[in-house]
């Protein structure tokens, strides 16, 4: 197992959603608007996955992936031996998710399967651009600019692949719904790329627009945050003194 995978295991509990993070409104601004008075809304389920768990499981089986659960009551996931390269995809405990995809346990699980398979299928394409890198962690502290940019670009690729996978299972959404879905995922993914923390757009009162942002516009905020942190290189981390100053 690679050193990268070992480091990823140490950080895996940060994958659990942490709603109410104050940075979300700033990072979500390009993708829509936030109304804190409308938190807890339940209408960001753009894919019609409500009765599609059997289809998702059948797709995973067809492509050679086995599903397992992690987080919540399932505890720390076994990333040492169960990951994309060994034929596993992981879904977070649907009972532990209080955000946009947890309208039902079945919906949350179906969504996770499609999305994680999309990540698995785009990994080689991503690594051809950026090389290996951490999927989790805060910019400058745990991840370099290259790794944080890589993580956000991976979401872009996975969003596109998820739509293809869904259509192949006769699960389709309109262009307007797809762009709102894309902006919802990227709003949270942008904050996570910089801060290393999860939140749920649903609990933040997020309203996505349907405009398509270019890849340049999606990745630029990460570069801007790296500059603000004083990171000068593509593969640089903050030193311990700088981390303590910013704590």
* pLDDT per residue as tens digits for the range 104-143: 888 889 999 999 999 999 999 999 999 999 988 999 999 9
Confidence band for 162, pLDDT divided at 50, 70 and 90: very high
Residue 211 has pLDDT above 90, yes or no: yes
pLDDT, mean over the chain: 87
DSSP string covering 176-229, please?
A: HHHHHHHHHHHHHHHHHHHH-----HHHHTEEE--PPPPHHHHHHHHHHHHHHH
Percent of the residues in the chain that have a pLDDT greater than 90, as a whole number? 66
CB-CB contact of 203 with 192 (8 Å): no
Mean pLDDT computed over 80-107: 79
The neighbouring-strand residues paired with 34 are: 206
Q: β-strands 206-208, 32-34: how paired?
A: antiparallel
pLDDT (0 to 100) of residue 199: 86
Confidence band for 20, pLDDT divided at 50, 70 and 90: very low
Whole-angstrom Cα Rg for the chain: 17
pLDDT (0 to 100) of residue 203: 83
Residue 51 Cα distances to 1, 35, 67, 215, angstroms: 37, 30, 18, 32
pLDDT (0 to 100) of residue 34: 92
pLDDT (0 to 100) of residue 11: 45
Element of type H or E holding 50: none
CB-CB contact of 210 with 33 (8 Å): no
pLDDT (0 to 100) of residue 185: 96
């Amino acid at each position: 197992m690679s050193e990268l995978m070992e480091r990823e295991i140490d950080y895996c509990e940060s994958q659990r959603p942490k709603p109410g993070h104050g940075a979300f409104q700033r990072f979500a601004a390009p993708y829509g608007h936030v109304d804190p008075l409308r938190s807890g809304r339940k209408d960001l389920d753009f894919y019609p996955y409500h009765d599609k768990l059997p289809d998702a499981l059948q797709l995973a089986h067809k492509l050679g992936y086995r599903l397992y659960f992690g987080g919540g009551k399932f505890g720390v996931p076994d990333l040492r031996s169960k990951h994309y390269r060994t034929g596993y995809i992981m879904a977070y405990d649907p009972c532990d998710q209080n955000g946009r995809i947890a309208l039902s346990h079945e919906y949350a699980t179906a969504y996770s399967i499609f999305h994680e398979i999309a990540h698995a299928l785009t990994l080689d394409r991503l690594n051809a651009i950026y090389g290996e890198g951490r999927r989790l962690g805060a910019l400058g502290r745990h991840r370099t600019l290259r790794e944080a940019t890589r993580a956000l670009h991976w979401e872009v690729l996975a969003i596109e692949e998820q739509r293809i996978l869904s259509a192949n299972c006769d699960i389709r959404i309109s262009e307007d719904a797809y762009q709102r879905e894309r902006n919802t995922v990227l709003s949270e993914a942008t904050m996570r790329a910089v801060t290393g923390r999860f939140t749920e757009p649903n609990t933040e009162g997020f309203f996505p627009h349907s405009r398509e942002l270019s890849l340049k516009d999606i990745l630029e905020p990460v570069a801007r945050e790296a500059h603000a942190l004083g990171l000068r290189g593509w593969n640089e981390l903050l030193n311990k003194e700088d981390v303590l100053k910013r704590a």
